């Protein structure tokens, strides 16, 4: 992770405010990120990028050697995405973004509760140090980690090694969505995303104050492997 030359997150009386020096950082790093860094504008750019992906009209911005070179001294991503480690779900591609546009954390099952400091700290870093205004939790159809949690719950068995711990962290989402109408796996995938969104919205001391101040928005989405479309969850 590239660390900016000065802290971009200021704590005052327990409140958190993101320093708004985006324009200067864009000039320094050569980022392709939009000049409008409001949460809604960033979300709109991701939605539009996904539309390009679904239509097969990718623009492939910011992926040349010169783009990488321009970012060698710093980064200025516009959004942080907590996605699944699944090899079929690369956020930069499915949102049609380039190097330096997205700060991506990937873990099997895209969960926050029980994920530990590595996941929570990475997302806090994105807000506190990099000034991102949008956090997205991105689940996907046919998620193997959620499938395993459902099977694990039904069979009441134990899985080997840390896989057992990983699956156990997703089980609350399975229980929450159990017996609801519709497909059990799809329901659990959505519930898992929503639980992570809710956790981030209340994550102290970094993310929650920024959300309450309107500086940061947390959203959830589910990527459909067959169509390529990302559906935002309410």
pLDDT in tens, 69-125: 888 889 999 999 999 999 999 999 999 999 999 999 999 999 999 999 999 999 999
pTM of the model: 0.84
Q: Tell me whether residue 68 is in a domain.
A: yes
- Within-domain flag for 37: yes
- Among 26-40, 162-176, 182-196, which range has the highest average pLDDT? 182-196
Q: From CA 153, how far away is CA 66, in angstroms rounded? A: 50
Rounded to 5 degrees, what are φ and ψ at 129?
-105, -30
* pLDDT over threshold 60, residue 145: yes
Classify residue 209: in a domain, yes or no: yes
Q: Which 8-state DSSP code applies to residue 181?
A: S
More confident residue, 22 or 178: 178
Question: What are the distances in angstroms from CA 230 to CA 48, 80, 92, 101, 151?
Answer: 11, 16, 13, 18, 26
The whole-number average pLDDT for the span 51-75 is 89
Residue 115 covered by a domain: yes
State the chain's maximal CA–CA distance in angstroms: 55
Provide the residue range defining the domain that includes 30. Answer: 9-141+203-233
In a domain, 127, yes or no: yes
pLDDT of residue 68: 87
> Residue 109 belongs to a domain with what CATH number?
3.40.1050.10
Domain assignment present for residue 84? The answer is: yes
What pLDDT band is residue 153 in, cutting at 50, 70 and 90?
confident
Task: Give me the number of domains the chain comprises.
Answer: 1
Asked whether residue 218 is domain-assigned, the answer is: yes
**Is position 166 within any domain?**
no
Cα 167 to Cα 111, 147, 157, 158: the distances in Å are 10, 9, 11, 10
Element spanning 223, H or E: strand 217-223
Point out which residues pair with 10 in neighbouring strands.
17
């Amino acid at each position: 992770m590239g660390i900016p030359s000065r802290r971009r997150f200021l704590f005052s009386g327990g409140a958190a405010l993101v320093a708004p020096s985006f324009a200067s950082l864009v000039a320094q790093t050569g980022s392709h990120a939009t000049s409008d860094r409001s949460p809604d504008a960033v979300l709109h750019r991701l939605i539009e990028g996904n539309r390009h992906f679904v239509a097969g009209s990718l623009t492939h911005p910011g992926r040349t050697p010169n783009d990488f070179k321009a970012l060698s001294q710093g980064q200025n991503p516009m959004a942080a995405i907590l996605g699944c480690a699944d090899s079929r779900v690369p956020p930069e591609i499915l949102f049609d973004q380039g190097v330096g546009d997205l700060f991506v954390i990937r873990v099997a099952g895209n969960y926050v509760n029980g994920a530990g400091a590595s996941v929570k700290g990475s997302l806090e870093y994105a807000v506190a140090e990099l000034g991102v205004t949008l956090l997205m939790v991105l689940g996907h159809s046919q998620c193997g980690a959620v499938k395993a949690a459902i099977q694990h719950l039904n069979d009441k068995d134990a899985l080997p090694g840390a896989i057992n711990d990983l699956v156990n962290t997703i089980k609350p989402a399975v229980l929450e969505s159990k017996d609801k109408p519709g497909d059990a796996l799809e329901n659990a995938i959505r519930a898992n995303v929503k639980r992570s969104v809710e956790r981030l919205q209340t994550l102290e001391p970094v993310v929650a104050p920024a959300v309450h101040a309107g500086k940061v928005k947390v959203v959830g989405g589910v990527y459909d492997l067959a169509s390529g479309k990302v559906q935002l969850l309410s």
